[in-house]
Amino acid sequence: MNSHMSIPAQAEATKTEEVVRLTDVHRRFGPVPALDGVSLTVHRGEILGIIGRSGAGKSTLIRCLNGLERPDTGDIIIEGRKINALPERELQPLRRKIGMIFQHFNLLSAKTVEANVALPLKIEGIGKAQRLARAREMLELVGLTDKAKSYPNQLSGGQKQRVGIARALAAKPALLLSDEATSALDPETTRSILSLLKDINRKLGLTIVLITHEMDVVRAIADRVAVIDAGKIVEEGNVWSVFSHPYAEITKSLLAGNRPQLPVHLGNALDEKNGNDILISIDLVGSYAQSRLFSDLAEAFSRGVRLLEGGIEHIQQQPVARFFLAVPRSDVGLLDEIKAKLASADARLEVLGYV
């Protein structure tokens, strides 16, 4: 597992209290390791995105976090309690403090919206007046006050997910787990749900763990990201850092649609023996990418360096850039000069081949 640059000290200081800690968690189904030594920490008030392909272990991980699966070995500690060691009678009340939102909403069709939201409180034994008051409060939070007496079949997909979020928050959970909660929604509705979750995170200081296969979801609202592959956490760090400097091959693959990529025709034209140019990629984070990069490389461009592809985006308010350049092979020493110019900017330069 590769570590990435740490978040600024001020942000770090606000998120030091652990809500979740997993230590060397293993879970097998027959000969197949679903979780293979997972260690992970989630701090209070942060949003952690856990991303991976289908079959990577995401579903098993979330089921272990909410106590529906018990690990074969290793520890899962939530708010100081080792939940994998608890008997079922002690696990039940703790499980109620872990909110869940699902891809397919899981609402009861025969109950009204407010009854769906109040259901966890009814199970907990809270009186009717108190639980309905809490349900109305949560519906106001998610912008559905006027739908309290409606039934799920009268709602759009986005509205159903808002009801699911209100229900998950009804029992004032310490942790909210989101299991592919936006996968069944269209892009516009997805953006509105993610904005709502971020708003709830800010207003309530709620700790959220997002399980997803979509990098766009992670980029939109997560503070940190952990990449899971074949039951292992292969990479984790702050979102801007992982997006700018991915190390694991699976991370690079998952990010392929989110970062500038080498045009296919150039990749197909790589020819180490006959290529006239050295093809390089440059990955950068910070204001240098917006201000000094091209002025520092002005001489290199005057000597025949060409910009082939690239761009700058902002992730967590950080400028993140990736560029592909062609450096004349005949200009001996020019590549070393470019490397020297970029050394102070903590840029990552990679030689991709010759074209």
Cβ–Cβ under 8 Å, residues 10 and 1: no
Domains of the chain: 9-97+173-254 (3.40.50.300), 264-354 (3.30.70.260)
How many CB atoms are closer than 10 A to CB 274?
A: 7
Residue 139: helix, strand or coil by DSSP? Answer: helix
Is the separation of the CB atoms in 135 and 118 below 8 Å? yes
Distance separating alpha carbons of residues 55 and 326, to the nearest angstrom: 39
Terminal C-alpha separation, the chain: 33
Helix axes 187-204, 157-169, angle to 10 degrees: 20
Predicted pLDDT of residue 258: 84
> Which structure tokens are listed for 135?
């349900």
Mean pLDDT by 10 residues, the chain (355 residues): 40 67 96 95 96 93 92 94 89 86 91 96 92 96 96 96 96 93 91 95 94 91 96 96 92 89 88 90 90 91 95 90 95 94 89 93
C-alpha 330/C-alpha 333 separation (Å) is: 9
pLDDT of residue 15: 57
- How far, in Å, are 63, 289, 319, 349 from residue 340 at the CA level? 49, 16, 22, 11
